[in-house]
């Protein structure tokens, strides 16, 4: 295997790595949907969600992955819809999705909600399926919103699997969405792989075992946020996320991202505290610091951890507060009332 590492810029990445085969058709569908949102005067948010895989072979048997289940993205998408936004939900295949997420989790399985009942009126004696009474109210609430969203056509779903799919899709969707200028928001909650194997370095067939250790040298995935800000999004409101496991790194890394990419906001989250605590880091545009010296402003958003236990007891989701705050900030960014 070739082991020379390459440093890809966004430009050289797209010039050398192949686009997913169905990209053109997907983007045509996105374009038509965006035109409808423009005509309706809607704000649109692109929510990216879930992890990305890094295949190790061209005929892929093995790949690297990460932990993200897509909870942040799927939950946030629901709150954006509730706030009146149209949502492009770009998610890793089989990660959580808005609405169905309530029942696809192992803590609240869908089948446990259903009961089989004898039906005396059934001509062939087939039993009826009904919803367990104690689960009915929550299901009805979720289903009602889901049906309303379906009827309004304000949720558009796209899927990716590999980091390559993600990067091509992100570029194409961002460029399409840029027609909305300030009315577009980009909410980048996906956990994107930092390293990958360019197709030119991948083994064609399954890597064979039995020859001792396996060493693979991966290349860095280009940091595409700078190009996204400068070239693809034209005045859009860009929200990136910073995940750390060392709390000491959260604020310095978030500030460094703002400095490097020049976008509007980084939301920092610690892996183990992310369900009840995040920090908004923004450039200081004046007025926040009395001595005027700080370049950045940090705003913590916290909820009581006891309210966040998964399953039917969960009564508060931090994404509600995150989205609420972002909608206010986006309104200020646009310069018009919601």
User: How would DSSP label each residue in 194-263?
Assistant: SEE--GGGSBSSPPP-SSS-----PEEPP-THHHIIIIISTT-EEEEEEEESSHHHHHHHHHHHHHHH--
To the nearest whole angstrom, how small is the minimum distance from the Cβ of residue 77 to ligand PMT? Answer: 12
For ligand PMT, which is the closer residue by CB, 128 or 199? 199
- At closest approach, how far in Å is the CB of 316 from ligand PMT? 15
The label of the residue with tokens 């000491």 reads: 248
Q: Which is nearer to ligand PMT, 155 or 317 (CB)?
A: 317
* Cβ at position 254, least distance to ligand PMT in Å: 9
Among 197, 224, 322, 327, indicate the residue that binds ligand PMT (CB under 6 A): 224
Q: Pattern 8-27, binding to ligand PMT, x per CB under 6 A?
A: --------------------
H helices within the chain, ranges in order?
10-16, 23-40, 71-82, 101-104, 133-152, 163-177, 225-227, 247-261, 318-334
CA distances 192 to 53, 156, 162, 310, 327, Å, are: 8, 21, 9, 25, 24
Residues sharing a CB contact under 8 Å with residue 246, sequence separation 6 or more, in sequence order: none
- CB 286 to ligand PMT: min, Å: 26
> Cα(235)–Cα(257) distance, rounded to whole angstroms?
18
Q: Does 240 bind ligand PMT (CB under 6 A)?
A: yes
Whether residue 307 contacts residue 321, with contact meaning beta carbons closer than 8 Å, is answered with no
Q: Is 80 in the site for ligand PMT (CB under 6 A)?
A: no
Distance CA(33)–CA(261), nearest Å, equals 29
Nearer to ligand PMT, 42 or 47 (CB): 47
Binding mask 241-280 for ligand PMT (x = CB under 6 A): xxx-------------------------x----x------
How many residues belong to the site for ligand PMT (CB under 6 A)? 22
DSSP 275: T
Q: State the minimum distance, in angstroms, from the CB of residue 191 to ligand PMT.
A: 4
Q: Residues 162-191 vs ligand PMT: string with x where CB under 6 A?
A: --------------------------xxxx
* C-alpha count within 13 angstroms, C-beta hemisphere, residue 331: 12
Q: Which of 8, 33, 44, 48 binds ligand PMT (CB under 6 A)?
A: 48
**DSSP bridge pairs for 244:** 270
Q: Is 325 helix (H, G, I), strand (E, B) or coil?
A: helix
Question: What's the min distance (Å) between Cβ of 176 and ligand PMT?
Answer: 16
Using the minimum distance from each CB to ligand PMT, give the nearer residue, 68 or 162: 68
Whichever of 67 and 121 has its CB closer to ligand PMT, that residue is 67
Ranges within 49-78 binding ligand PMT (CB under 6 A): 68-72
3-state percent breakdown (helix, strand, coil) of the chain, nearest 5:
40, 20, 40
We find the least distance from the C-beta atom of residue 296 to ligand PMT, in angstroms, to be 16
Please give the residue ranges that form the binding site for ligand PMT (CB under 6 A): 48, 68-72, 188-192, 194, 221, 223-225, 240-243, 269, 274
């Amino acid at each position: 295997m070739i082991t020379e590492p390459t440093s890809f810029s966004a430009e050289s990445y797209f010039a050398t790595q192949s686009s997913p085969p169905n990209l053109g058709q997907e983007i045509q569908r996105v374009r038509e949907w965006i035109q409808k949102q423009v005509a309706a005067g809607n704000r649109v948010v692109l929510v990216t969600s879930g992890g990305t895989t890094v295949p190790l072979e061209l005929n892929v048997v093995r790949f690297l992955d990460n932990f993200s289940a897509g909870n942040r993205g799927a939950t946030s998408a629901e709150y954006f819809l509730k706030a009146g936004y149209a949502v492009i939900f770009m998610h890793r295949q089989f990660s959580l999705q808005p609405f169905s997420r309530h029942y696809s989790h192992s803590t609240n399985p869908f089948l446990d909600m259903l009961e089989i009942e004898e039906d005396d009126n059934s001509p062939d004696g087939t039993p009826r399926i009904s919803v367990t009474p104690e689960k009915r109210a929550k299901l009805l609430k979720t289903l009602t919103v889901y049906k309303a969203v379906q009827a309004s056509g304000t949720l558009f779903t796209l899927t990716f699997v590999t980091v390559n799919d993600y990067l091509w899709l992100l570029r194409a969707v961002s460029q399409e969405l840029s027609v909305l200028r300030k009315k577009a928001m980009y909410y980048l909650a996906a956990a994107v792989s930092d390293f990958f194997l360019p197709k030119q370095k991948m083994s064609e067939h399954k890597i064979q075992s039995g020859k001792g250790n396996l060493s693979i040298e991966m290349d860095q995935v280009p940091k595409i946020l700078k190009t996204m800000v400068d070239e693809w999004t034209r005045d859009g409101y860009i929200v990136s996320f910073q995940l750390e496991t060392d709390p000491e790194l959260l604020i310095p890394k978030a500030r460094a991202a703002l400095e490097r990419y020049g976008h509007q906001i980084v939301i920092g989250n610690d892996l183990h505290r992310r369900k009840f605590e995040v920090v908004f880091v923004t450039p200081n545009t004046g007025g926040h610091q009395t001595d005027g010296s700080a370049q950045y402003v940090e705003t913590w958003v916290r909820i009581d951890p006891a309210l966040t236990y998964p399953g039917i007891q969960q009564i508060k989701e931090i994404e509600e507060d995150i989205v609420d705050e972002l909608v206010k900030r986006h309104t200020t960014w646009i310069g018009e009332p919601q």
